[in-house]
Amino acid sequence: MKPILNIAAYQFVSLSALEDLRADMRDALNTRQLKGTILLAEEGINLFLAGTEPMIRDFLVWLRSDPRFAPIEVKESWSDEQPFGKALVKIKNEIIRMNHPTIRPETGRAHFIAPEKLAQWLDRGTDDLGRPVVMIDTRNQFEVDYGTFKNALHFNIHKFSEFPEAIKAHQAELADKTLVSFCTGGIRCEKSGLYMREIGMEHSYQLEGGILKYFEDVGSAHYEGTCFVFDEREALKPSLESIGIEQSIRKKANAA
């Protein structure tokens, strides 16, 4: 087992007294020698952390002792080295910026599909009712360049706030399809899925847990390449191992 446990998690829940919460989070990280980033907003929490397994597990016990965070679900992966340089706790207007304040996942989630069920749909090319399935990549273009689902539709966007207009421009051509939106860990799809339903794309779902959960439960089936992550590991293979320094250097050289 590799020595460093990496976790990614988010939860949409109403938060207040954010400055006090930030101070508590900083203390919790520092006392356990954990590194990474926690984002706090009135709409919830988003975190990417790494450290030794005992300290990560202890932090999660502490976090879930707050009833607001008790249901939080975590995606895990392992690495040989600490991928973060410091511990940061930031206050933001949104934990994932979309600029659509009416989209509030806390009040009700979009329809979602589990990774194993999605794999069954992709094996057939249709959902359980025989409708063609189209994968919708909600990530930025540079992330898509690392890897994505085979034949997935993406929009060459540079920030998530561009997604609403991008998907709306394709609404008519996708009307007779079953749509499954996906992102790295699921947080962007919590909003994209609700937005798609809001504009009338009723046959739309979000991939539960994002690409990382799909890798964990299914592996590489129907996926090509790696998944970019926002830390020094750069990208993860479907085995949830990092692409490695040498491959990272080659990729950057080829892109230059």
Assess whether 183 carries a catalytic annotation. Answer: yes
pLDDT band at 251 (very low <50, low <70, confident <90, very high): low
- Over residues 223-247, the mean pLDDT reads 87
Whole-model pTM?
Answer: 0.85
| Catalytic-labelled residue, pool 38, 95, 183, 240 | 183
Note the pLDDT of residue 243: 84
Query: What's the chain's average pLDDT?
Result: 93
User: Secondary structure of the chain in the HEC alphabet?
Assistant: CCCEEEEEEEEECCCCCHHHHHHHHHHHHHHCCCEEEEEEECCEEEEEEEEEHHHHHHHHHHHHCCHHHCCCCEEEEEECCCCCCCEEEEECCCCCCCCCCCCCHHHCCCCEECHHHHHHHHHHCECCCCCEEEEEECCCHHHHCCEEECCCECCCCCCHHHHHHHHHCCCHHHCCCEEEEECCCCHHHHHHHHHHHHCCCCCEEEECCHHHHHHHHCCCCCEEECEECCCCCCEECCCCCECCHHHHHHHHHHHC
How do residues 7-22 score in pLDDT, each as one tens digit? 999 999 999 999 999 9
In the chain, the domains with their CATH numbers are: 4-91 (3.30.70.100), 105-255 (3.40.250.10)
Query: Is 252 or 225 the better-scoring residue by pLDDT?
Result: 225
How do residues 190-205 score in pLDDT, each as one tens digit? 999 999 999 999 999 9
